[in-house]
Amino acid sequence: MNEMNALLNLLENDARLTPEQIAIMLDKEVGDIKKLIYEYEKDGVILGYKAMIDWDKIEREYVSAMIELKVTPQRDKGFGSIAEKITRYPEVQSVYLMSGSFDILVLIEGRTMKEVAFFVAEKLSPMDSITSTSTHFVLRKYKDRGVVYGVPEVDIRGSLV
Amino acid sequence: MDYSKILSKTASEIKPSGIRKFFDLLSAGDMSDVVALTVGQPDFVTPWHIREAGIESLEEGKTYYTSNAGLTELRNEISLYLNRRFNLSYNPGNEIIVTVGGSEAIDLAVRAIVNPGDEVIIAMPAFVCYPPIVSLAGGIPVLIPTKEENEFKLTPEELKSAITPKTKLLILPYPNNPTGAIMDYEDLSKIADILRDTDIMVLSDEIYAELTFGQKHVSIASLPGMRERTIIASGFSKAYAMTGWRLGYVVAPEQVTSVIYKIHQFAIMCAPTTSQFAAIQALKKGDDDIEYMAEEYNRRRRYIVAGLRSIGFPCFEPKGAFYVWPNISGFGLSSDEFCEKLMYEGRVAIVPGTAFGDCGEGYARLSYAYSVEHITKALDGIENFVKKIR
Ligand SMILES: Cc1ncc(COP(=O)(O)O)c(C=O)c1O
């Protein structure tokens, strides 16, 4: 495997690995790993380090929804400017330009369904170029970004030898 | 009834596995917080496309026995695989038998070769099954302790001094469980030089052949003059993360497999059919999976070795399998004592070296078939424990 990909794959799986640990695992110098990480951060290849949290497991009001938007592209700017506008809202988690029967997919998080519904009605729908919205609430997460949600797996491997 | 008069004497006299004894402790009392590095099997799940091939075979109703030696297509693929990866050449028609794991392959090989009273040389420390299997066949296990200064390889001198007129078989378990030692072409050449002038057969347990680091596995059967005196036991458990499928194979010259075949035919009939279909897929499309998992193990290997050394254990660098074998003798405790204390006080479980033979005294086996996160937790526990008892 390509060395740089190896570093990124390791961090993608576990962002808490230290440069020292990574250096040992990949048989490289710590200094080189630190430099690489720094460069990835600088170039925006690595954009952040976040924990995967199952909010359903703790007492907190939480809903998430996916909103499909149909959008009239703007002259010269296409979908870019509307997408960029949507990203500015802090409740918006993701914004994707999509192929298929709608144009933009927005992932949004809020405390209650009402809050999300109001956001759509008050913030998204009024935007000039958005011609229609369709909101789908997430009822349950089974897997997100490669991580399976639910009960942590128990090691049932039997053999000792 | 007095069962002691009823049961087979040979079978009753088999010593229970040393590991068992240790792990009865682990299951007694509340040990749920103990971080274990004990398991001898991959933490990966069998790659999905391989599982799917098994499932499809069930959906298609392929629930019958296969031919005794295994599906023709599977034997063909094994033959291609052995050639592709280890430069070996075996006739799928009569030199390959599909078995219930490498375990059955080992048992068959020993039973096909050993007459009562024959001596079987075993390089130790080793996987626990060889001595009992030899004893069950009426053979006499002759154990050679390998040494750390020789990187736990079997040396020609050690082999020579163990050979007697009664020696029938040498069990060569490399890449080695528990030490992680491997033997390269040169090492094997020296062993081959001794064996070529004898009628001693070699049982080469190559179940970890796909897990070598920094160099490719060499099968002793690929050395000049050795094919005719070698039986290879191998399987799918470790390379493809398929332990639960119970599938392996034994390959040898036709004169040997024809005898092995008879035992297998009458004792087992055939290996599990679903697993055989899955294995065809593994061999056809699984080379990338092997590579991916091996690379993953390699990272953990470097990580755990570095971790143990920084705690202060002298630690032989393993070159194969997924175990490390640090020297834990520096604390005035026997291996059993050290591991027991570590489990009770440090809440980390590792296997005392003595579970793999008396020569394992002073060592312990740690498996790194675990996530880095889990290994880190275990290393932290070991470090804290060592600080306390030092
Ligand atoms: C050295 C060695 N040989 C053979 C086996 C048996 O493997 P299986 O019967 O699953 O193929 C094992 C399993 O741990 C092993 O470590």
Q: Which residues are registered as beta bridge partners of B99?
A: B248
Same domain membership, residue B116 and residue B241: yes
Chain CA centroid to CA A67, Å: 15
Tally of structural domains, chain B? 2
Other beta carbons less than 10 A from residue B348's beta carbon: 23
Contacts of B317 (CB under 8 A, 6+ apart): B180, B305
Q: Is residue A144 part of a domain?
A: no
In Å, how far are B9, B11, B23, B56, B91 from B5, measured between CA atoms?
Answer: 8, 12, 30, 49, 46
Reply yes or no on whether the pLDDT at A2 is more than 70: no
DSSP for A39-74, written as a single string: HHHHTTSS--------GGGSS---EEEEEEEEEPPB
Residues A118 and A60 grouped into a single domain: yes
Same domain (yes/no): A60, A131: yes
Rounded to a whole number, what is the distance in Å from the CA of A1 to chain B's nearest CA?
9
- Is B276 in the same domain as B127? yes
Query: Which residues in B lie closer than 8 A to residue A157 (C-beta atoms)?
Result: 39, 41, 43
Q: In this structure, is residue A49 part of a structural domain?
A: no
Do B130 and B255 belong to one domain?
Answer: yes
ipTM: 0.76
> Ligand 1, closest atom to CA A159?
14
Q: Which amino acid is at A125?
A: S
- Cβ–Cβ under 8 Å, residues B307 and A18: no
Does A161 score more than 60 pLDDT? Answer: no
Is the domain of A87 the same as that of A23? no
Q: How far is B318 from chain A (nearest CA, A)?
A: 14
The answer on pLDDT for A28 being more than 60 is yes
Cross-chain residue pair A17–B243, CB shorter than 8 Å: no
Domain limits at B301? 3-45+288-389
Residues B169 and B305 occupy one common structural domain: no
**pLDDT at residue B87, rounded to an integer:** 96
Shared-domain flag, residues A84 and A60 = yes
Token code pair at residue B81: 């695989």
If asked whether residues B293 and B175 sit together in one domain, one would say no
Tell me the pLDDT of chain B (390 aa) as tens digits. 899 999 999 999 988 776 767 777 777 777 788 999 998 899 999 999 999 999 999 999 999 999 999 999 999 999 999 999 999 999 999 999 999 999 999 999 999 999 999 999 999 999 999 999 999 999 999 999 999 999 999 999 999 999 999 999 999 999 999 999 999 999 999 999 999 989 999 999 999 999 999 999 999 999 999 999 999 999 999 999 999 999 999 999 999 999 999 999 999 999 999 999 999 999 999 999 999 999 999 999 999 999 999 999 999 999 999 999 999 999 999 999 999 999 999 999 999 999 999 999 999 999 999 999 999 999 999 999 999 998
DSSP string, B117-171: T-EEEEEES--TTHHHHHHHTT-EEEEEE--GGGTTPPPHHHHHHH--TTEEEEE
Q: Which of A10, A14, A24 sits opposite B302 (nearest CB)?
A: A24
Output the pLDDT for position A157.
80
Residue A159 has pLDDT above 60, yes or no: no
Tell me which residue in A14, A24, A161 faces B127 most closely, judged by beta carbons: A161
pLDDT in tens, A94-151: 999 999 999 999 999 999 999 999 999 999 999 989 999 999 999 998 999 888 888 7
We report the CATH number of the domain holding residue A135 as 3.30.70.920
A21, part of any domain: yes
- pLDDT surpassing 70 at residue A160: no
**Among B17, B41, B100, B103, which is best to mutate for testing ligand 1, by the most ligand atoms less than 8 A from CB?**
B103
For residue A109, the enclosing domain spans: 55-139
Q: How many domains does chain A have?
A: 2
- Measure B87 CA to ligand 1 centroid, in angstroms: 22
pLDDT at position B213:
97
Instruction: Say if the Cβ atoms of B306 and A17 lie within 8 Å.
Output: no
Sign of CA dihedral B337, B338, B344, B345: positive
The pLDDT value recorded for residue A100 is 95
Choosing from B262, B286, B310, the residue where a domain stops is B286
Q: What pLDDT is recorded for position A149?
A: 87
Residue A119 within a domain:
yes
Determine the residue of chain B that is closest to A155 in CA distance: B43
CA–CA distance, B126 with B356 (Å, rounded to integer): 5
Say what the pTM is.
0.90
Q: Which residues line ligand 1 (CB under 6 A)?
A: A 161; B 40, 101-103, 127, 173, 177, 205, 207, 235, 237, 243, 248
Domain boundary among B286, B317, B349: B286
Q: Is the separation of the CB atoms in B10 and B133 below 8 Å?
A: no
B301-335 residue pLDDT tens: 999 999 999 999 999 999 999 999 999 999 999 99
Query: For B41, which of A14, A25, A159 is closest by C-beta distance?
Result: A159
